[in-house]
């Protein structure tokens, strides 16, 4: 299975590299040429789409169709009980592509409305609030999943229900960041009051801090089952703030992951802010923020999969935190 994934990923990467080299060859950083050759990036996106929906039995058709089916299920259906972890993981990864989806919307809107999709982004394309809605969709999907999980656990002990509601609150905390950012775009400079420039900026900044802090806590305490934020963090039976069962043998790997996750969580909230994109000079900075978020999610997945694998192997179920469970590691 993994070889097929690598094969498809390699082909898509090769398509991107070839398209990019051709684009650079014919544009040579000339602004007018960049606008003229907008068809090249469009063909690349079309080629990627065709690769996934291609009915021919090549490039692991079964796996490609299964991925599309999973996307449809997490967006419009329920969580598959047998594939619960993969559904949640896919939706979590999708939240890291929120800004990417927003950029794809802007490029598509510009292309089909007669504006060159390779010119400076026109982020009002499609309406003032269409871009924020697109960016909010991944968090809305994940919020819906949490509510479904909560509904499935009605009648069970509160300790099994509450985590799903708290997780839903975490994803809901992304909406104020997007909302106040969108409102700032339409606010006149120097305006005062609760809807004024300064007030909206302060509301936005507070929303960023709340969302980043909540998300960072959840990553460490719930997704990775580390004891850093619990009373068990000083337990002498495991390294400070970690847990007894660790697949990666070096504690410094976990400490580095915690530090990077906390640092990059701030960039995650910042990239959800469409109002930052009105500054043309920040386009490179926005790209860097997107790259850093993909890197953070890549790092997060390793430890999230490790946690789920350990839960499964020890037959504890998904609701018991490894950092708080009093057992010894295999080496003991």
Domain boundary among 59, 77, 95: 77
∠ Cα 189 194 196 (to 5°): 5
Residues 93, 171 within the same domain: yes
Residues 31, 109 within the same domain: no
Residue 242 lies in a domain: yes
Distance CA 139, CA 172 (A): 7
How many domains does the chain contain in total? 2
Residue 177 lies in a domain: yes
Residues 108, 23 within the same domain: no
Residues 286, 156 within the same domain: yes
Residues 32, 84 within the same domain: no
Q: Mind listing the pLDDT tens digit for each residue in 113-138?
A: 989 888 888 878 888 789 999 999 99
Domain boundary among 27, 55, 77: 77
Average pLDDT over residues 67-75: 91
Residues 125, 265 within the same domain: yes
Q: Mind listing the pLDDT tens digit for each residue in 31-65?
A: 899 999 999 999 999 999 999 999 888 888 998 99
The per-residue pLDDT of the chain, averaged, comes to 85
Residues 195, 276 within the same domain: yes
Give the pLDDT of residue 273: 65
- Cβ-in-10-Å burial (0-12, 13-18, 19+) of 274 comes to buried
What residue numbers bound the domain in which 93 lies?
A: 78-324
Distance CA 240, CA 242 (A): 6
Residues 5, 144 within the same domain: no
The answer to whether the beta carbons of residues 253 and 242 sit under 8 Å apart is: no
Q: Mind listing the pLDDT tens digit for each residue in 241-269?
A: 999 889 988 999 999 999 999 998 877 66
CA nearest to 323, candidates 212, 223, 216, 215: 223
Residue 330 lies in a domain: no
Q: Mind listing the pLDDT tens digit for each residue in 294-310?
A: 899 999 999 999 999 88
Residues 72, 82 within the same domain: no
Residues 121, 170 within the same domain: yes
Residues 196, 227 within the same domain: yes
pLDDT band for 324, please (50, 70, 90 cuts): very low
Q: Name the token pair of 82.
A: 């047998």
Average pLDDT over residues 279-285: 59
Residue 65 lies in a domain: yes
Residues 207, 172 within the same domain: yes
Q: Mind listing the pLDDT tens digit for each residue in 153-201?
A: 898 998 889 999 999 999 999 999 999 988 887 776 666 767 777 888 8
């Amino acid at each position: 299975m993994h070889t097929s994934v690598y094969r498809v990923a390699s082909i898509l990467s090769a398509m991107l590299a070839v398209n990019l080299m051709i684009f650079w060859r014919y544009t040579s950083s000339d602004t007018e040429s960049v606008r003229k050759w907008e068809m090249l990036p469009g063909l690349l996106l079309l080629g990627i789409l065709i690769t996934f929906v291609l009915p021919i039995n090549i490039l692991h058709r079964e796996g490609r169709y299964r991925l599309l089916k999973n996307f449809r299920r997490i967006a419009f259906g329920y969580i598959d009980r047998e594939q619960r972890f993969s559904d949640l993981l896919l939706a979590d990864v999708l939240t890291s592509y929120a800004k990417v989806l927003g950029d794809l919307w802007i490029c598509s809107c510009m292309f089909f409305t007669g504006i060159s999709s390779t010119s400076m982004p026109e982020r009002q394309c499609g309406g003032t609030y269409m871009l924020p809605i697109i960016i909010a969709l991944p968090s809305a999907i994940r919020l819906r999943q949490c509510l479904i999980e909560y509904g499935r656990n009605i009648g069970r002990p509160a300790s099994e229900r509450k985590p799903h509601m708290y997780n839903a609150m975490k994803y809901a905390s992304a909406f104020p960041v997007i909302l106040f950012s969108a409102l700032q775009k339409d606010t006149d400079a120097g305006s005062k009051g609760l809807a004024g420039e300064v007030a909206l900026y302060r509301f936005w900044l507070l929303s960023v801090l709340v969302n980043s802090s909540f998300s960072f806590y959840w990553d460490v305490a719930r997704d990775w089952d580390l004891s850093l934020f619990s009373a068990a963090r000083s337990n002498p039976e495991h390294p400070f703030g970690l847990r007894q069962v660790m697949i990666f043998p070096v504690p410094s790997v976990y400490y580095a992951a915690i530090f990077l996750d906390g640092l990059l969580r701030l960039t995650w909230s910042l990239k959800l802010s469409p109002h930052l994109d009105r500054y043309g000079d920040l386009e490179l900075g926005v790209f860097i923020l997107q790259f850093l978020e993909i890197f953070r999610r890549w790092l997060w997945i390793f430890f999230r999969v490790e946690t789920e694998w350990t839960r499964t192997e020890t037959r504890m179920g998904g609701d018991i935190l490894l950092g708080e469970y009093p057992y010894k590691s295999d080496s003991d």
